Amino acid sequence: MSKLTIDDLKKIKEKTAKETSLRHGEANIKLMVHMGTCGIAAGGRDVMNALMDELAKSDRQDIRVVASGCMGMCSSEPNVTVEVQGEEPIIYQHMDANKMRQVFKRHVLLGEVQTDFALAKI
Amino acid sequence: MKELSLHILDVAENGISAGADIVRIEVDEARAANRLKIVIADNGRGMPDDILRNVTNPFYTTRTTRRVGLGLSLLESAARRCDGSMRIESAKGKGTRIIAEFKYDHIDRAPLGDIVGTMTTLIMGNPDVDFEYYHQIDGRQFSVNTRDVKEESGSSSVTDMAVFQLLYKKLHNGLKQLKSGER
């Protein structure tokens, strides 16, 4: 086994802290807005802003929003992945601000997967 | 891309994927000189020469999910189409600096657009990265720094909604003031 440096240890610590915060109720739900060049050109920013607006209104501390990169499905952008702890992640396709608000209110807050907008479950 | 702020969002995300924890965005509107300059600088890992040579080729990409890489090529063509140019300064291990210049009143120059939306998206989507935003119109300046906002609000995280709202207000009002001031 190669030698661990202090930097390696720091990285492991950060990674574990991130993962455990997701597990231990701090962030039960994670939403990823895919923002590669394709996602941005297709309107990912509006989706992200609608999502943040809904999040602010909901006042929930256990929901995390992150911007992630392109996942190779550029034709179905803007894509949003919803990961609810203990359930299969759902990828939504062709999102816009209104669909995002619906997914947030129905899927994220109430647990009803919006199959009409879904691309796949992983 | 319909707005220059979308290019900014896109290129800044590149820097973040390159491991940057500080991203600086500068917009300089010098209307007397008829020039609009956008600088996006990060302290990520930088690019080696062979990548740097190919980076504006749309058929070159380091990613594995698809075979085209359009971000920088799109920005370059947008700048060129407006009698402007784009250049990249990158040092391995130190970071990358993208400088795009446009002729301000060129008919093909896209509007700057929703820069507040770009900044909030960047900041909220990447809570571990610090952002510096600097905007200048004819010599008058406005700047926001996420570190200061975090300090001011006494919270360590921008994902805290209170911090986000403070940030939004600052950006929104600051830019409004900057834009209305010169009339």
Three-state SS for A12?
A: helix
Q: Which of B70, B120, B122 has its CB closest to that of A37?
A: B70
Q: For the domain A6-121, what is the CATH superfamily, name and number?
A: Glutaredoxin (3.40.30.10)
Q: Can you list the alpha helix ranges (DSSP code H) found in chain B?
A: 4-17, 49-54, 71-81, 115-125, 146-153, 161-181
Q: Which sign, positive or negative, has the C-alpha torsion B116, B66, A77, A38?
A: positive
Q: Is the ipTM of this complex over 0.90?
A: no
Give the pLDDT confidence of B91-131 residue by residue, as tens digits: 888 899 999 999 999 999 999 999 999 998 998 888 889 99
Set of chain A residues whose Cβ sits within 8 Å of the Cβ of B124? 48, 52, 65, 67
Give the pLDDT confidence of A48-106 residue by residue, as tens digits: 999 988 988 888 888 888 888 888 888 999 999 999 988 999 999 999 999 999 999 99
Q: How far is CA B92 from CA B35, B63, B66, B176, in A?
A: 30, 18, 25, 38
Three-state SS for A29?
A: strand
Give the pLDDT confidence of B128-182 residue by residue, as tens digits: 899 999 999 998 999 999 888 888 777 666 666 777 788 888 899 999 999 887 5
Chain B interface disruption, residue of A40, A80, A81, most B CBs within 10 A: A40
Set of chain A residues whose Cβ sits within 8 Å of the Cβ of B74? 37
Angle at B131 between CA A92 and CA A100, to 5 degrees: 20
Q: How far is the C-alpha of B87 from the C-alpha of B155, rounded, in Å?
A: 37
Query: Tell me, what amino acid is at B114?
Result: D
How many beta-carbon pairs under 8 angstroms link A with B? Answer: 68
pLDDT at A20 exceeding the cut of 60:
no
Do the beta carbons of residue B160 and residue B54 sit within 8 Å? no
How much is the pLDDT for A61? 80
DSSP B85: E
